[in-house]
Structure 1
Amino acid sequence: MTHRTRKRLALVALLVGLPVYVILAVSLVNWLDRTFGRLPIWAEVPLYAILAFAWALPLKPLFRGIGQADPDE
């Protein structure tokens, strides 16, 4: 995959994928609230921390090296 293609895919992931992920994460938390009631603070904080970083883990290889100059030039 070329550097230019990776840059474009990273941009699409940030502009389209991240808002979709946020909507899904908020929907999950709302469903948990409706189903089980509000979580205690000791459970809610780790849940939000996990959700905050979970989106980046599968995309880490795509973002690696994007901010650097094209190595083929």
Structure 2
Amino acid sequence: MALSYRARKRLALFILVIGLPVYIVLAVTLVGLIERPSLWLELAIYIGLGLLWIFPLKKVFLGVGQADPDQGD
């Protein structure tokens, strides 16, 4: 079942306002649990975690900034 444009827009907003800050806190906590790695390794971990969240959610964000395709002009 495909999500409607309005549902995807609301879900994208929820993910950005609620989900992303929670994910950031979890990522920082996860990195904080391990002993302090070198600067470059820590940077690579944060970049990897920063990109990891978007892959499963890419379909939700596609076309959300466009005009509503369900609405006729």
TM-score tier after normalising by the smaller chain length: 0.7 to 0.9
Percentage of pairs with the same residue:
51
Q: Which amino acid aligns with 1:58?
A: P
1:44 is matched with which residue? 42
2:26 is matched with which residue? 24
- Structure 1, gaps ≥5 residues long: none
The aligned length equals: 69
- Structure 2, gaps ≥5 residues long: none
Q: Alpha-carbon deviations, 1:32-54, whole Å to 9, x = none? A: 1xxxx210223212111101111
Q: TM-score, normalised by structure 2?
A: 0.86
Q: CA RMSD in A?
A: 1.0
Q: TM-score, normalised by structure 1?
A: 0.86
1:57 aligned to which of 18, 30, 55: 55
